[in-house]
């Protein structure tokens, strides 16, 4: 089979049929209204992904509370958002009825922005910190996730993604650094309790066919982060991450999205800069570990495919014909390292990527230049989109630079 056939072949996720192997990564775009509802900009972005014929779309980090959040205009999922989200999903299903959508439920914890919300933590991280969460508060947060899942199903989503990646609250609780002596800290049994109890609570609030999965940083990339040997160790150890995905699978998770890194201190592992595209291979290694540890029917989704681009990428020592997103993605699927291919920055550069492959218009695909200006817009709390190929965002970026100057460091 050629790469086109492999990438366009259907796959089952839980009891749902996913039409192809393309996964649109959750991409926060800071463009909600004041109540956390989708605006015209949000509609445009997701309508484009739906037109682009992705098999599965992961709706960007949508916060289960507006008390603690990372972005000022972040999508929210609380009872007050139900009506607006119903209208939004209805519209997307009109554009493309058989693209599946899951919502990435999040709580930002210590990544919450104190300028407009309450920064909270499970154990203060050097350089971050915030109010220390009590056990009762964590239980309340889990109830908020469960309520959000109920709303997600009611508004027509196909499932949820419990965010356990990139240093947001889910990662903060499960990492070895959380050695505080409490119900959710210290031993692995205590630290994994959050993820397992959350899974059970979500399961109870939705119907049997509703998908539950998780995007996780298998290795956060710094001492004490998830996937470290102990609270201070710089050594990677996959015992806990592998145990966690198996435990979640046993409790009913039907898919996982691989990721690495932490938004505060290990960003290059999460989304590398232009000059280190070879970090993509690291993600394939972790995705393969996950796939091999889980049952064959559990869907594992690979991340960090944007750097492979088309034939013109910065990867050396490889034949350009074989090193683009499509040939590499298809090879990884064919050889059993993953089931689906996630596109993040590339989904900004060209939301029609899967459709263009399907229609034989590969030469019309705009490939992400990895300029990272989308990231800069996000850090500046501005609506996010592709600065290179989407004019309104180019203008917004120019304005942003005029107003705020250049960022000292992109990876902050």
Give yes or no for residue 345 binding ligand FMN (CB under 6 A): yes
Shortest separation between residue 325's beta carbon and ligand FMN, angstroms: 9
Rounded distance between C-alpha atoms, residue 161 and residue 163, angstroms: 6
- Identify the CA nearest to 56 among candidates 4, 28, 92, 21: 21
Give yes or no for residue 171 binding ligand FMN (CB under 6 A): no
Element (H, E) at 100: strand 100-106
Taking CB under 6 A as the binding criterion, the range among 219-227, 300-308, 314-322, 389-397 that sits at the site for ligand FMN is 300-308
Number of residues that bind ligand FMN (CB under 6 A): 26
Taking CB under 6 A as the binding criterion, the range among 125-133, 247-255, 311-319, 373-381 that sits at the site for ligand FMN is 373-381
What part of residues 269-298 is at the interface with ligand FMN (CB under 6 A)? 270-271
Cα-based distances in Å from 145 to 72, 87, 103, 280: 20, 21, 11, 31
Give yes or no for residue 165 binding ligand FMN (CB under 6 A): yes
Q: Compute the chain's Rg from CA coordinates.
A: 20
Shortest separation between residue 371's beta carbon and ligand FMN, angstroms: 11
Give yes or no for residue 305 binding ligand FMN (CB under 6 A): yes
Q: Which two tokens stand for residue 7?
A: 């990438």
Give yes or no for residue 384 binding ligand FMN (CB under 6 A): yes
Q: How many CB atoms lie within 10 A of CB 35?
A: 12
Shortest separation between residue 33's beta carbon and ligand FMN, angstroms: 18
User: Residue with CB nearest ligand FMN?
Assistant: 344
Among 32, 68, 149, 306, binds ligand FMN (CB under 6 A): 306
Q: Which two tokens stand for residue 87?
A: 């209208």
Q: Considering the complex, state which of residue 27 and residue 357 has its C-beta at the smaller distance from ligand FMN.
A: 27
Shortest separation between residue 376's beta carbon and ligand FMN, angstroms: 9
Helix axes 279-293, 239-250, angle to 10 degrees: 50
What part of residues 200-259 is at the interface with ligand FMN (CB under 6 A)? 215, 259
DSSP state of 150: H
Q: What angle do CA 318, 322, 328 make, to 5 degrees?
A: 105
Shortest separation between residue 396's beta carbon and ligand FMN, angstroms: 13
Shortest separation between residue 116's beta carbon and ligand FMN, angstroms: 18
Cβ distance 175 to 191 under 8 Å?
yes
Phi, psi of 375 (to 5 degrees): -65, -40
Rounded distance between C-alpha atoms, residue 141 and residue 122, angstroms: 13
Among 20, 25, 144, 262, binds ligand FMN (CB under 6 A): 25
DSSP state of 285: H
Q: Considering the complex, state which of residue 233 and residue 394 has its C-beta at the smaller distance from ligand FMN.
A: 394
Among 36, 49, 52, 60, binds ligand FMN (CB under 6 A): 60
Among 76, 220, 240, 375, binds ligand FMN (CB under 6 A): 375
Q: Where are the alpha helices (DSSP H) in 52-81?
A: none
- Identify the CA nearest to 70 among candidates 25, 125, 24, 32: 32
Give yes or no for residue 378 binding ligand FMN (CB under 6 A): yes
Secondary structure class of 17 (helix, strand, coil): strand
Shortest separation between residue 355's beta carbon and ligand FMN, angstroms: 17
**List of residues contacting ligand FMN (CB under 6 A):** 25-28, 60-61, 104, 165-166, 215, 259, 270-271, 303-307, 343-346, 374-375, 378, 384
């Amino acid at each position: 089979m050629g790469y086109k056939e492999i990438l366009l072949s259907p796959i089952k996720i839980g009891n749902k049929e996913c039409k192809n192997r393309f996964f649109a990564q959750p991409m926060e775009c800071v463009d909600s209204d004041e109540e956390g509802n989708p605006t015209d900009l949000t509609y445009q972005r997701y309508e484009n992904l739906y037109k682009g014929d992705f098999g599965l779309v992961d709706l960007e980090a949508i916060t289960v509370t507006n008390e603690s959040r990372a972005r000022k205009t972040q999508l929210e999922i609380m009872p007050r958002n139900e009506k607006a989200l119903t209208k939004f999903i209805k519209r997307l299903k009109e554009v493309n009825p058989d693209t599946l959508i899951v919502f990435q439920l999040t709580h930002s914890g210590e990544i919450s922005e104190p300028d407009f919300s309450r920064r909270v933590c499970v154990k203060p991280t050097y350089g971050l910190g915030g109010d220390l969460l009590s056990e009762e508060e964590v239980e309340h947060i889990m109830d908020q996730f469960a309520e959000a899942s109920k709303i997600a199903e009611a508004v027509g989503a196909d499932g949820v993604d419990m965010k356990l990646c990139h240093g947001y609250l889910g990662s903060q609780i499960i990492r070895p650094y959380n050695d505080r002596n409490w119900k959710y800290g210290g031993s692995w049994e205590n630290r994994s309790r959050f993820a397992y109890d959350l899974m059970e609570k979500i399961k109870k609030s939705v119907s049997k066919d509703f998908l539950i999965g998780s995007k996780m940083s298998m290795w956060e990339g710094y001492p004490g982060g998830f996937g470290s040997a102990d609270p201070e160790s710089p050594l990677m150890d996959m015992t806990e991450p592998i145990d966690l995905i198996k435990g979640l699978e046993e409790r009913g998770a039907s898919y996982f999205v691989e990721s690495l890194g932490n938004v505060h201190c290990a960003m290059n592992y999460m989304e590398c800069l232009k000059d280190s595209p070879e970090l993509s291979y690291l993600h394939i290694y972790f995705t393969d570990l996950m796939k091999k540890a889980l049952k064959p029917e559990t869907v594992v989704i690979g991340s960090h495919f944007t750097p492979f681009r088309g034939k013109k990428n910065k990867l050396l020592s490889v034949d350009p014909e074989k090193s683009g997103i499509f040939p590499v993605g298809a090879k990884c699927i064919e050889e059993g390292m993953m089931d689906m291919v996630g596109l993040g920055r590339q989904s900004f550069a060209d939301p029609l990527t899967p459709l263009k492959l399907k229609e034989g218009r590969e030469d019309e695909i705009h490939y992400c230049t990895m300029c990272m200006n989308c990231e800069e817009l996000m850090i500046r709390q501005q609506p996010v989109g592709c600065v290179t190929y989407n004019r309104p965002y180019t203008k917004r970026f120019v304005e942003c630079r005029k107003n705020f100057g250049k960022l000292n460091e992109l990876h902050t």
